[in-house]
Structure 1
Amino acid sequence: MTDSTQKPDPEDELAGTEQPFVAHLMELRDRLIKSIVAVGIVAVALAIYPGPGHLYDLLAAPLIAHLPHGATLIATSVISPFMVPLKILLMAAFMIALPVVLYQVWAFVAPGLYSHERRMVLPLVVSSTLLFFAGVAFCYFLVFGRVFAFIQSFAPKSITAAPDIEAYLSFVLTMFLAFGLAFEVPIAVVVLARLGVVSVEQLKHFRGYFIVLAFVVAAIVTPPDVVSQLSLAIPMCLLYEVGIWAARAFIKNTSAPADEAETAGS
């Protein structure tokens, strides 16, 4: 009579670590609560200092600096002076608390990953976060000033610019998202190469097509001016090259044990 009990594979490092489905749900709940609490604590701190109004002033500073003397932003809705700074407060709180949120996500999924998968996921999470922040900072400190100066240089003297605060917030969020995602190009390249969708040599061959794609994307997601389009397309092309270099190093250092054995035997 054969024993029907299945024994765990002694070489499987995750054997015996399974948990009931309810336990996973409870842990997910706890991680979500911790993430929300982290965002809430940062939001309260920002509400106390510097305050929602000052946060909006910081966000509007690049535009205010290039408006005609005495011109200001306007609110066309009754509740806009309250809602817009509040939205900015919550956005800033989430971005500041993002490392804590990502850590909770990592702590939830890490126990179910093999060691070689942890070597792959953790660097991607950290680097993608840093690259997104770098894209937002690049947009705010380097792009906004040049874009607003270029746009105002075309404004007729008979027109007094008075942008609406909700329209400005929508424009800023769109630009932040565009540049933040554009700076994720190396991550996308690394993931595609690591999953075997494309090889490093194919990525090199696709370089010319990607340059065209970068300028097409920049023309779609940015305002119709040369400055903002070049400011997005050129970093995307440079980051694509960084992604090719990173993909080669990443594949070498995150191979599974079976892949490493095959590589050594070949």
Structure 2
Amino acid sequence: MSTNDQDEVDKSSAPLIEHLIELRSRLMWSLGGFFIAFLVCFFFAKQLFNLLVIPFQWAVSWADLANQKVELIYTAPQEFFFTQIKLAMFGGLVIAFPVIAAQIYKFVAPGLYKNERSAFLPFLIASPILFLTGAALVYFFFTPMVMWFFLAMQQTGADGEVEISLLPKVSEYLSLIMTLIFSFGLVFQLPVVTTLMARVGLLSSEALADKRKWAIVIAFVVAAVLTPPDPVSQIGLAVPTIILYEVSIWAARWVERKREAERLAREKEEAADAASTAGSGASPAE
């Protein structure tokens, strides 16, 4: 290999090494943020779990079960410990998400044009806001509704019936809460994803509107897969999904109108520049 060829290889490999070093740095910041958030959540794991039990208490009050005590159990010695670890990991990921998203953006942003960065940043901000909106909907409404539905299946033991009471395990209750939060948070990203795809030309508002019937069917199928097997949570997830799909159609139309306005403004500016150039190029005699 000649000296010139070796120089070309060195020049091409230097940016790659710099990118790998930067990627390692971004990963370390992300993992560090997650680890700190995990430790904080694990330290307050019991308090966080008690906070998650509040929707269960609301469901008991809705079911008018004044004599029933809200009680959860664990049947294995290590179960509650691993439940706290699971809760700390989930909470740490949620808390550290802004740090992780910021590190991803800082790694990708240098390779984007200025207008691409300005277009991408609002979606980076909207994504966690929509996720938290879905999580709040789960906490304040759907979890109490689901628990109320399950509490209604109890038998009091009157009239010779066998007494059947709901006594959930801590791990199963946490899994239910996490499944609902993840499902709603994922579904609430639909406007962000469709708007981004519409912005780059992969989707159109007309195509979304034409596939509305299929979207409704898919919404109920996805709700049946992601949520527990009860009609309350399935309908509760499917209906917001359909509403968010309509919001996505509106957002795609807004993006298309904005893109069309920018195109017309650019063509008008180019026509004005061409006319100005033609006018300045004419001779005084003409």
TM-score range normalised by the length of the shorter chain: 0.7 to 0.9
After superposition, the C-alpha distances for 1:123-160 in whole angstroms (9 at most, x for unaligned) are 22221221112111111111000111012112233112
2:185 paired with 1:190 = no
Secondary structure of 1:197's counterpart equals coil
Structure number with higher relative contact order (C-alpha < 8 Å, ≥ 6 residues apart): 1
Secondary structure of 2:54's counterpart equals helix
Distance 1:26 1:253 in 2: 39
Distance 1:210 1:114 in 2: 34
Larger radius of gyration, structure 1 or 2? 2
Aligned partner of 1:29 among 24, 27, 30: 24
Q: Is the 8 A contact 2:131 2:189 kept in 1?
A: yes
2:208 paired with 1:203 = yes
Aligned partner of 1:239 among 224, 241, 244: 244
Letter paired with 1:230: I
Distance 2:29 2:264 in 1: 37
Distance 2:122 2:265 in 1: 19
- 1:144/1:114 Cα in 2 relative to 1: closer, same or farther (>3 Å)? same
Q: CA deviation at 1:104?
A: 0.7
Distance 2:250 2:102 in 1: 27
Q: CA deviation at 1:163?
A: 1.2
Q: Is the 8 A contact 2:198 2:255 kept in 1?
A: no
The TM-score, its normalising length taken from structure 2, stands at: 0.76
Distance 2:169 2:121 in 1: 41
Q: CA deviation at 1:254?
A: 6.7
**Comparing 28-37 and 210-219, the one that deviates more:** 210-219
The TM-score, its normalising length taken from structure 1, stands at: 0.81
Secondary structure of 2:75's counterpart equals coil
Distance 2:14 2:105 in 1: 17
Distance 1:143 1:170 in 2: 15
- 1:218/1:236 Cα in 2 relative to 1: closer, same or farther (>3 Å)? same
Q: Is the 8 A contact 1:117 1:254 kept in 2?
A: no
2:166 paired with 1:171 = no
**Comparing 104-113 and 174-183, the one that deviates more:** 174-183
Secondary structure of 2:214's counterpart equals helix
Letter paired with 1:52: A
Distance 1:254 1:46 in 2: 44
Q: How does 1:141-152 map to 2 (within 5 A)?
A: 141-152=140-151
Secondary structure of 2:238's counterpart equals helix
Q: Is the 8 A contact 1:150 1:227 kept in 2?
A: yes
Q: Is the 8 A contact 2:176 2:228 kept in 1?
A: no
Q: How does 1:152-171 map to 2 (within 5 A)?
A: 152-157=151-156, 158-171=163-176
Q: CA deviation at 1:263?
A: 9.2
Distance 2:270 2:220 in 1: 44
Which ranges in structure 2 are unaligned for 5 or more consecutive residues? 1-12, 157-162, 272-286
Distance 2:203 2:268 in 1: 18
Distance 1:135 1:263 in 2: 43
Distance 1:108 1:259 in 2: 33
Higher fraction of helix? 2
After superposition, the C-alpha distances for 1:159-215 in whole angstroms (9 at most, x for unaligned) are 122111122222222211111111111123213322323321121222232122212
Task: Tell me what 1:13 maps to.
Answer: none
Q: How does 1:1-266 map to 2 (within 5 A)?
A: 20-48=15-43, 51-66=44-59, 69-157=68-156, 158-251=163-256, 261=266
After superposition, the C-alpha distances for 1:27-66 in whole angstroms (9 at most, x for unaligned) are 1111111122222333344455xx1111111122222444
- 1:253/1:37 Cα in 2 relative to 1: closer, same or farther (>3 Å)? farther
Q: Is the 8 A contact 1:55 1:85 kept in 2?
A: no
Secondary structure of 1:160's counterpart equals coil
Aligned residues: 246
Q: Is the 8 A contact 1:120 1:254 kept in 2?
A: no
Q: CA deviation at 1:102?
A: 0.5
Which ranges in structure 1 are unaligned for 5 or more consecutive residues? 1-17
Distance 1:122 1:97 in 2: 18
Secondary structure of 1:20's counterpart equals helix
**Comparing 146-155 and 196-205, the one that deviates more:** 196-205
